[in-house]
Structure 1
Amino acid sequence: MNKRQPKRWGLGARLLAAIVAVLLVAAGTAWAVASVIGPMIFHDHMLMAEPVDSEVVAHARQAFTAAWTLSLSVALLVALLSSVLVSIVVTRRITRALERVRQAAVQVASGDYNVHVPAVHMGAQFDDLAAAFNTMATDLGHIEKTRTRMLGDLAHELRTPVATLDGYLEGIVDGVVPADEPTMGMLREPVARLARLAQDITLVTTASEGRLEMRWQPLRVGDLLQDAATQASVKSADKGIDLTIEATESERQTVITADPDRLGQVLTNLLDNAVRHTPKGGQVQLGAKRSGSRLRLWVQDNGGGIAAEHLPHLFERFYRADAARDRAHGGSGIGLAISRSIVQAHGGSMKAASAGLGHGAVFTIELPLGRQHSQA
């Protein structure tokens, strides 16, 4: 049998009790001080006046005592009542404001992220609390939408290769499909796709949590650009795309501290995307430019471009501006999320821009120069 817990005082009752206690202590102190010091001061003044009639002195003493007792009592009573009244009003407003936040927190906990706490206008702290809560609820709503979409996309990514494997294996079991080398080759493709998806998910999760292993070393920018362009040259040549490097000799000789494999992975991914979305005979440019203590790298193409509504979401996990086309090419929708995480691990930033469909796109990376890293 559970013991009944004693009823706890609310914040309003606690504040009111604390204020009343302070007022009572203040009133008692004022009364004690007045009763001790007042008569002493009066007695000293009477001695200085040298009265001759003792009855006059006694009457004056009684009049003084009655006057200060009555006036102080009335003043303390009025102060106590007015303070209690003001305290009740203030504590009720504070309690109502916190109750709104509590109710909103309960709604958020139940999955309703559209809740909004209005400003209570009781000081900057309360308004900041309401604003921070509203921002938190909005961010949680965005995270929940992203999570839901991510799970749906992940289910889709898994469904296709699993269905392929199931179909072929069922055919082999039924004796309809021969278990020969061509069939094994067909089975390896969805298995490789699942393995690549698992690797991508692990990589982007590790990067977003700041646990990405980095091997820092001096890296010449020219070598970074040339290696990335070399890896993309076969695909670009097959499509007749003109792939060029735009960088001065001074910028090519610039040395940065970076992980060559990780940063090369970013540029290779950007070049692959650019080549994939650029029509035959198009142009793709890989460039670098130094500006003060920053190094700017970019990959620009004159391909299909990106619609404005897609630009803010390009670096989200599993997001695709053209889902059908990217799935046809085997993309998982995680590449840009991984790339941005790697760039951020280098202390840099990454952004995308496009004038719209049919006007190409440019992805820009900004990295700090002279940044020191500890060896991982």
Structure 2
Amino acid sequence: MNRFWVRLSLAFMALILFFFVVPVMVVALNTAGVLRNAPPELRPDTPPTLVQPGQPDGPPQRRLSRRFTLEAEAYRQAFRRAFLEGLPGFLTRTTLVAGILALALGIWLSRGLTEPLSRLEEGARAVASHNWAYRVPEEGPDEVAEVARAFNEMTATLQQSEMLRRQLLSDVAHELRTPLTVLQGNLRAMLDGVYPLEPAEIGRLYDQTRHLSRLVEDLHLLAQAEAQALPLARTSFDMREMVREVVELFRPLAEANDVRLLVETDDAPAPVYADRARIQQILNNFLSNALRHTPAGGRITVCERREGDRVRVEVQDTGEGIAPEHLPHVFERFYRADKARDREHGGTGLGLAIAKALAEAHGGGVWVASEGKGKGATFGFWLPLHTGDHTL
């Protein structure tokens, strides 16, 4: 039982005591006072008759009996008058005390309820004015404290979302600025006659426009996936076959870079119900990333295995590795541990973020592991297995 209901229960108990128990006690005390002043023959501990056994029932006894009856009736009337005369005053005093107590209790309870609510109101106004750092004290009754806790969690989420939004705008502006600056500079040089209008120069400008197109397409794809609005052409296929096909597509590129490309798959089929092109895009991103960071003479191993009700695919390389401080951020938009290297290779900085969004859109997930710089890295994703008409 929380503190609010304990306070309310105590208040009702106090009122019950004042309105029921105290009147009974006062009536008992008044009754005791009346009986204390009564003659012995009218007290409860005196026998009801003064006639002893064996005595004749003559006129003296009958007179004593009538006297007893009259005096008993007189004391009953006196007791009734005393009770009725004292009752209004008692009820007045009891009502006054109970009213004061109820007023004090109401003030105490209202302060316990209204103060946290007032703080929540102030917090809502602060958040409405874009003060995302505002937090309210998690105090008061359990229900109010729970609302305050939920409010703080909401503001923390809003603050994180606002920070990501600003970072995204900054990153997009930066990524767009670089190729646009190159385009403007080269076109200006051509107009001024500094650069000759040759196919080689036009080819470099065309590469920058392709980079811009990829960036816009990747941003659009990522926004759709994160909003769960990405159209998915789901079909049932064997993950083993798709992994082998993708590896064979990358084998010529790996051989050209003097990198050994190996593949390991389970013997048992691994059926999944997903958009094959999107899942292949995840594996393409991981393999491209591995080839980009694996030097000549290195090795890349693609593993596929079933684990319970899911299938895991991971890409292990013997390349540069990832420092521990970068691991929590590698799937963020535009995050680059080595910005210069990625721009040299034409990356948009969105490939891993897209892979994560696509895996989650299919009910799966991604992960990364590395023992540190120079010790290689492992990127992987998992999807739920599919049997018949249901996903496991």
Q: Could you tell me which residue of structure 1 aligns to residue 153 of structure 2?
A: 135
Counterpart Cα distance in 2 of 1:364 and 1:172: 46
The 5 A counterparts of 1:116-155 are: 116-120=135-139, 122-155=140-173
Counterpart Cα distance in 1 of 2:388 and 2:266: 25
Distance verdict in 2 for CA 1:129–1:236, change over 3 Å: same
Q: Could you tell me which residue of structure 2 aligns to residue 183 of structure 1?
A: 201
Whether 2:230 is the aligned partner of 1:212: answer: yes
User: Deviations 1:16-44 (Å, cap 9, x if unpaired)?
Assistant: xxx9xxx9xx99xx89xx9xxx9xxxxxx
Give the Å deviation of 1:52.
5.1
Give the Å deviation of 1:108.
3.3
Whether 2:235 is the aligned partner of 1:227: answer: no
SS in 2 for 1:295: strand
SS in 1 for 2:231: coil
Q: Could you tell me which residue of structure 1 aligns to residue 354 of structure 2?
A: 338
SS in 2 for 1:280: coil
Within the candidate set 289, 314, 326, 1:310 is matched to 326
SS in 1 for 2:386: coil
Give the Å deviation of 1:319.
1.7
Within the candidate set 292, 297, 312, 2:308 is matched to 292
Within the candidate set 270, 273, 282, 1:254 is matched to 270
User: Deviations 1:239-272 (Å, cap 9, x if unpaired)?
Assistant: 111111111322xx32221211000000010010
Give the unaligned 5+ runs of structure 1: 1-18, 39-49
SS in 2 for 1:249: coil
Give the Å deviation of 1:195.
0.7
Q: Could you tell me which residue of structure 1 aligns to residue 36 of structure 2?
A: none
State the one-letter code of the partner of 1:210.
Q
Counterpart Cα distance in 2 of 1:55 and 1:362: 105
Give the Å deviation of 1:51.
7.3
Give the Å deviation of 1:56.
5.9
Give the Å deviation of 1:329.
1.6
Counterpart Cα distance in 1 of 2:217 and 2:243: 25
The 5 A counterparts of 1:1-376 are: 59-120=78-139, 122-250=140-268, 253-370=269-386
User: Deviations 1:178-217 (Å, cap 9, x if unpaired)?
Assistant: 4443333222111111111000000000000001111111
State the one-letter code of the partner of 1:69.
P
Counterpart Cα distance in 2 of 1:262 and 1:97: 49
SS in 1 for 2:173: helix
Distance verdict in 2 for CA 1:372–1:214, change over 3 Å: farther
State the one-letter code of the partner of 2:277.
D
Counterpart Cα distance in 1 of 2:261 and 2:70: 119
Give the Å deviation of 1:337.
1.4
The normalised TM-score by structure 2 is 0.76
The normalised TM-score by structure 1 is 0.79
Give the Å deviation of 1:110.
3.5
Distance verdict in 2 for CA 1:157–1:63, change over 3 Å: same
Contact 1:244 1:286 in 2 (8 A): yes
Contact 2:246 2:284 in 1 (8 A): yes
Counterpart Cα distance in 1 of 2:389 and 2:131: 43
Q: Could you tell me which residue of structure 1 aligns to residue 49 of structure 2?
A: none
Give the Å deviation of 1:294.
1.4
User: Deviations 1:100-123 (Å, cap 9, x if unpaired)?
Assistant: 223333333334433332221x33
SS in 2 for 1:359: coil
Percentage of identical aligned residues: 36
Structure number with bigger Rg: 2
Aligned Cα root-mean-square deviation (Å): 3.0
- Judge which range, 342-351 or 268-277, deviates more: 342-351
Counterpart Cα distance in 1 of 2:262 and 2:284: 14
Contact 1:229 1:268 in 2 (8 A): no
Counterpart Cα distance in 2 of 1:207 and 1:125: 37
Counterpart Cα distance in 2 of 1:327 and 1:110: 39
Q: Could you tell me which residue of structure 2 aligns to residue 47 of structure 1?
A: none
Counterpart Cα distance in 1 of 2:229 and 2:104: 57
Counterpart Cα distance in 1 of 2:69 and 2:294: 113
